[in-house]
Amino acid sequence: MSAGTDLCFETLVVTVSDGIGVITINRPESLNALNLKVLQELDTCLGRLEQLETLSALILTGQGEKAFAAGADISAMVSMSPGEAADFSGFGQAVFQRLSGFPVPVIAAVNGYALGGGNELAMACDIRIASQNAKFGQPEVGLGIIPGFGGTQWLPAIVGVPRALELILTGRVIDAAEALSIGLVHKVVPAGEALRSAEELARVIASKSGLAVRNAKKAIKRDGHAPLSLAGFALERQFFAKCFEGPDQAEGMRAFLQKRAPKFQR
């Protein structure tokens, strides 16, 4: 497969070299926020890379030094109806589950903000390497919504229910050192080094038996979302959409876009 012709996207830069694929989300002007186009292209891209039998590992990162991805695109969500929100959430969940069940190991090189959907994207990867300046969180409650791309399911599975509750219910953003201490990331490296470190790890994986690595991942991940249940994702989708029925979501998102503090209903 030629990376130049078959893997050409508007919002992603994709390279494949020596069996290692690198997908870079390329919307630095909006801190690599995840809109429908990014999700659709990621889905298509994963579908094509899944066919590549010579692939040993995949790396996901964001363009620029500032952000891995600063979340789902707030400007795209501000006017969504509850039904549209449910569809957006369902599609994001499905693409991230596809990533989680991707046939070879996926490493997130978190080079800056990984907030909301950005943190969910990182959590859907198998291994997370963070640069020292990376920041993690699920700040959705400050926007009048809840995580909608699987965060209510992935985060408790990775850091435990008590820590996940504290992070999701307060929207607190944590630095890379704290993310390491709670097991949200596997390793912290100096700023600017996340991709290089991820490539190093990918080469270690690539030096092993490809068949064994693929089978090991299959045994652990089974259908892609193990050990999580699809019922949990469905519940998250339902409650995410419910947030779009009340006034807080529009107020929270408008406030962000207008760069002011939100005034929520009491």
Confirm or reject binding of residue 168 to ligand COA (CB under 6 A). no
Contact with ligand COA (CB under 6 A) among 62, 92, 101, 116: 116
CA–CA distance, 137 with 115 (Å, rounded to integer): 5
Contact with ligand COA (CB under 6 A) among 7, 12, 16, 31: 31
CB of 240 vs ligand COA, minimal distance in Å: 10
- Using the rule CB under 6 A, give the single segment among 10-18, 83-91, 136-144, 191-199 that binds ligand COA: 136-144
Confirm or reject binding of residue 70 to ligand COA (CB under 6 A). yes
- Using the rule CB under 6 A, give the single segment among 5-13, 16-24, 115-123, 178-186 that binds ligand COA: 115-123
Contact with ligand COA (CB under 6 A) among 21, 71, 156, 210: 71
CA angle, residues 170, 172, 174, in degrees to nearest 5: 155
Annotated active-site residue 50? The verdict is no
Confirm or reject binding of residue 30 to ligand COA (CB under 6 A). yes
CA–CA distance, 214 with 122 (Å, rounded to integer): 20
Confirm or reject binding of residue 243 to ligand COA (CB under 6 A). no
